[in-house]
């Protein structure tokens, strides 16, 4: 294939420009410079509500234009994909409208704020796919090379039959009760708290790495701090900016058990109150033939225990997942020179562009996003019913 500029263009329009918008922007900028893409992404336009702020974001993040009307993206012939980086309460409206308008969609996680919304998004994606219009949900941690390697080892039978999955997502950004309200603490905007924001990630990781689905859960939710100060900057969350306190309407932490479709047992923790843990995503898989362990705080490492080894010398092997032959290897730096949080977003763009060029369903699909949404909903129903066991529809093993 010739140089990037000779590739067919993929015009991109992005809605939202905060943390996820910035992470996605760096991925659209970077992917064609480190990977040989079949389509040439062109960062055409970013949409946001505040005119001055979105103009500044366009300049800072590298977008050709800015608009305060996200529907403009659907009406532009030079936009072929809409990248949804907004809070969860607008995912369904924007993604469905974009798909109906014939635009491919990349939608941030969680797919939606409810199963009903997620089901509508899947229906729109299924209809659009018949017209060659495709959609992906952005569970980016799947695209950390060590996580991809873990998936490959499980798929190759290197841990045998999965017996246990132990998954944690630990943060501490609101452990201080004085941290003010934000949209993530407002059920109307976020749908749920730690459960949907970070619990969604570890549910997806457990299902992706094992290739199995959760078929039942039993869970607890807790809100430790139920009132917080209104933010000084905006009264968008109700109340007068910077005066008084308002209600937290989501969970601060979720703890739940699950049974996997292959018969294994899973345990999950998702909390924003783990003082000292900033973005600690930990996954351990114990199988009949070995174990795998991953910790995002050492994201370039995968630990592997092979139960067939001589007990006298057996132990967890520390694999530095930066070799050319490793997932996404050979595109970045020489072995041992590690990757960071942002590289998974670039890998997401690389895989998505390759799928669009090939007319292949990107993964994770909206159906995968719906599967996660069903787990979140089941945990909420279990927790509301004093932790009863809630069954989930037995689904085909994940692809």
The binding site for ligand SOE (CB under 6 A) comprises 19, 171, 197-198, 279
Q: Please, are residues 230 and 236 in contact by the beta-carbon 8 Å criterion?
A: no
Which residue in 67, 121, 129, 54 sits closest to 94, CA to CA?
A: 121
Q: Which two tokens stand for residue 282?
A: 């930990």
Our CB check for ligand SOE shows the closer of 23 and 134 to be 23
- Report the residue closest to ligand SOE, judged by CB: 197
Minimum CB separation of residue 203 from ligand SOE in Å reads: 13
In this structure, the strands spanning 390-391 and 280-287 are unpaired
- Give min distance, CB of 396 to ligand SOE, in A: 27
**Cβ closest to ligand SOE, residue 20 vs residue 134:** 20
- In the bound state with ligand SOE, the residue whose beta carbon lies nearer, of 113 and 171, is 171
Instruction: Give rounded-to-5 percent helix, strand, coil for the chain.
Output: 35, 25, 40
HSE of 73, CA atoms in CB hemisphere, 13 A: 34
Residue 380 and residue 166: Cα distance in Å, rounded? Answer: 20
As measured in angstroms, the least distance from the Cβ of 279 to ligand SOE is 6
User: CA 281, 210, 322 angle in degrees (round to 5)?
Assistant: 60
Q: How far is the CB of 119 from ligand SOE (least distance, A)?
A: 22
Decide whether 52 or 188 has the Cβ nearer to ligand SOE. 188
Measured from the CB of residue 141, what is the shortest distance to ligand SOE in angstroms? 7
Nearest approach, Cβ of residue 35 and ligand SOE (Å) = 22
**Alpha helix positions (H), 293-362:** 341-358
User: Given the complex with ligand SOE, which of 19 and 333 has the nearer CB atom?
Assistant: 19
What is the DSSP pairing of strand 301-306 with strand 317-320? antiparallel
Q: Does an H or E element contain 166, and which?
A: strand 162-170
Q: Least separation, in Å, of the C-beta of 167 and ligand SOE?
A: 14
- Kindly give, in sequence order, each residue whose CB lies less than 8 Å from that of residue 227, ignoring residues fewer than 6 positions away: 245, 246, 247, 248
In DSSP terms, 212 is beta-bridged to: none
Which lies closer to ligand SOE via its Cβ, residue 85 or residue 128?
Answer: 85
Task: Identify which of residues 173 and 389 has a Cβ nearer to ligand SOE in the complex.
Answer: 173
For the chain, the residue count is: 399
Q: Does the bond joining 110 to the residue before it have cis omega, within 30 degrees of 0?
A: yes
């Amino acid at each position: 294939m010739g140089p990037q500029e000779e590739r067919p263009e993929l015009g991109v329009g992005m809605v939202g420009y905060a943390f996820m918008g910035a992470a996605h922007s760096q991925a659209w900028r970077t992917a064609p410079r480190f990977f040989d893409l079949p389509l040439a992404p062109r960062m055409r336009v970013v949409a946001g509500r505040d005119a001055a702020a979105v103009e500044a974001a366009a300049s800072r993040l590298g977008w050709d234009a800015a608009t305060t009307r996200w529907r403009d993206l659907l009406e532009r012939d030079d936009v072929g994909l809409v990248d949804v980086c907004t809070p969860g309460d607008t995912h369904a409206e924007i993604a469905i409208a974009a798909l109906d308008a014939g635009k491919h969609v990349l939608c941030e996680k969680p797919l939606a704020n409810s199963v009903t919304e997620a089901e509508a998004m899947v229906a729109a994606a299924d209809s659009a796919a018949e017209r060659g219009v495709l959609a992906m949900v952005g569970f980016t941690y799947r695209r950390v090379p060590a996580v991809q390697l873990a998936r490959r080892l499980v798929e190759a039978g290197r841990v045998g039959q999965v017996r246990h999955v132990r998954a944690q997502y630990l943060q501490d950004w609101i452990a201080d009760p004085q941290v003010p309200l934000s949209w993530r603490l407002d059920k109307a905007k976020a749908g749920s708290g730690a459960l949907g924001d970070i619990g969604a990630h570890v549910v997806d990781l457990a299902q992706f790495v094992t290739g199995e689905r959760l078929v039942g859960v039993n869970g607890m939710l807790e809100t430790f701090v139920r009132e917080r100060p209104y933010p000084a900057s905006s009264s968008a969350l109700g109340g007068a900016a910077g005066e008084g306190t308002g209600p937290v309407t989501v969970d601060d932490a979720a703890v739940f058990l699950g049974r996997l479709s292959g018969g294994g047992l899973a345990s999950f923790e998702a909390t924003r109150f783990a003082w000292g843990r900033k973005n600690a995503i930990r996954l351990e898989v114990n199988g009949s033939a070995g174990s795998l362990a991953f910790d995002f705080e050492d994201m370039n490492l995968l630990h592997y225990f092979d139960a067939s080894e001589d007990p006298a010398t057996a132990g967890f092997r520390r694999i530095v997942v930066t070799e050319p032959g490793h997932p996404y290897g050979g595109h970045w730096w020489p072995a041992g020179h590690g990757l960071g949080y942002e590289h998974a977003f670039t890998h997401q763009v690389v895989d998505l562009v390759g799928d669009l060029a090939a007319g292949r369903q990107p993964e994770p699909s909206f159906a995968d996003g719906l599967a996660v949404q069903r787990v979140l909903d089941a945990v909420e129903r279990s927790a509301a019913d004093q932790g009863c066991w809630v069954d989930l529809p037995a689904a085909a093993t994940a692809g």
